[in-house]
């Protein structure tokens, strides 16, 4: 099945996902760090703990200990607090102005983000796509699982799989935004570890479909 056909089926089945759920591009960046190795429900609690104060200036000014306390619900809070400080330090290069950051080329921004401690490919690409609206397709474990079951030859290398999407879809950040969100929705609710194939729009043609009858 073609990537665009899959997208249309997912969209028809689940509707728009309205990602990324955040009030500002900076909050998206913070969410991209906090969501590492934890469920989104814990990220929401950590973000709620900031109240009205989730700004780069606030994160820069408070102590490591204060930041750790605020984000404690997201788990790995010491490590994540250090990562947030580092990421915010990177954002300071652009005077905390998303348009100034956006004016840079995608490759430059990607290299800068990947050079930060604790920012891997998935986190960097989530920031590029959702906060900076760059046409970068985010790959995660859900993407691998769903596409492997659907019969795609999923490459082990992140970059190869990312390029596969980008070369077979229009370079459109809005499309990549919605597509990734739909994959996450599908993998989290239907194509789970143990898939619910009876509820799946792909079941008739999916080579990985389970028949539990
Ligand atoms: S039919 Fe089953 S295995 Fe295939 S995509 Fe749907 S839920 Fe996943």
pLDDT (tens digit per residue) in 121-168: 999 999 999 999 999 999 999 999 999 999 999 999 999 999 999 999
pLDDT exceeds 80 at position 188: yes
Q: Token pair for residue 54?
A: 């989730």
Domain segments of the chain as ranges = 3-17+137-205, 25-131
pLDDT exceeds 90 at position 4: yes
Q: What angle do CA 72, 56, 17 make, to 5 degrees?
A: 70
Q: Give residue for tokens 């790995």.
A: 76
pLDDT exceeds 80 at position 10: yes
Instruction: Give pLDDT tens digits for 91-113.
Output: 999 999 999 999 999 999 999 99
| pLDDT band, residue 211 (cuts 50/70/90) | confident
**pLDDT the model gives residue 79:** 98
Pick one of 3.90.1640.10, 1.25.40.10, 3.40.1800.10, 1.10.340.30 as the CATH number of 25-131: 1.10.340.30
**pLDDT the model gives residue 71:** 98
Ligand 1 pocket test target in 186, 194, 206 with most atoms within 8 Å of CB: 206
Ligand 1 pocket test target in 7, 149, 193, 205 with most atoms within 8 Å of CB: 149
Instruction: Give pLDDT tens digits for 11-62.
Output: 999 999 999 889 999 999 999 999 999 999 999 999 999 999 999 999 999 9
pLDDT exceeds 90 at position 199: no
**pLDDT the model gives residue 63:** 98
- Residue closest via CA to ligand 1's atom 8 equals 191
Q: What angle do CA 129, 115, 44 make, to 5 degrees?
A: 50
Residues 6+ apart with CB under 8 A from 183: 10, 142, 143, 146
Nearest-angstrom CA–CA distance, 56 and 60: 6
Q: Token pair for residue 72?
A: 């404690």
Alpha carbon separation from 42 to 48, 83, 187 (Å, rounded): 10, 17, 19
Nearest-angstrom CA–CA distance, 73 and 27: 16
| Closest atom of ligand 1 to CA, residue 196 | 7
Residues 6+ apart with CB under 8 A from 35: 43, 74
| pLDDT band, residue 212 (cuts 50/70/90) | low
Question: Phi and psi of 154, rounded to 5°?
Answer: -80, 120
Q: Token pair for residue 131?
A: 């906060």
Global confidence as pTM? 0.94
Pick one of 3.40.50.800, 1.10.1670.10, 3.30.365.10, 3.90.76.10 as the CATH number of 3-17+137-205: 1.10.1670.10
Residues 6+ apart with CB under 8 A from 185: 10, 14, 17
Torsion 102-103-109-112 (CA) sign: negative
Quick one: which of 140, 152, 149 has its CA closest to 181? 140
| Closest atom of ligand 1 to CA, residue 195 | 7
**pLDDT the model gives residue 20:** 87
């Amino acid at each position: 099945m073609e990537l665009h056909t899959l997208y249309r089926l997912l969209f028809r089945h689940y509707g728009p996902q309205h990602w990324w759920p955040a009030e500002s591009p900076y909050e998206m960046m913070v969410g991209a760090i906090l969501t590492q190795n934890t469920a989104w429900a814990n990220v929401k609690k950590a973000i709620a703990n900031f109240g009205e104060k989730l700004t780069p200036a606030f994160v820069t000014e408070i102590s490591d200990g204060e930041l750790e306390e605020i984000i404690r619900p997201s788990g790995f809070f010491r490590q994540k607090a250090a990562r947030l400080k580092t990421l915010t330090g990177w954002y300071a290069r652009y005077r905390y102005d998303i348009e100034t950051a956006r004016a840079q080329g995608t490759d430059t921004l990607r290299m800068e983000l990947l050079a930060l401690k604790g920012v891997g490919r998935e986190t960097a690409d989530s920031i590029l796509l959702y906060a900076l609206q760059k046409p970068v397709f985010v790959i995660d474990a859900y993407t691998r699982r769903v596409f492997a079951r659907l019969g795609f030859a999923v490459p082990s290398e992140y970059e190869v799989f990312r390029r596969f999407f980008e070369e077979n879809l229009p370079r459109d950040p809005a499309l990549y935004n919605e597509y990734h969100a739909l994959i996450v929705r599908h993998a989290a609710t239907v194509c789970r570890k143990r898939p619910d194939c009876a509820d799946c729009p792909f079941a008739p043609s999916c080579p990985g479909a389970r028949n539990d009858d």
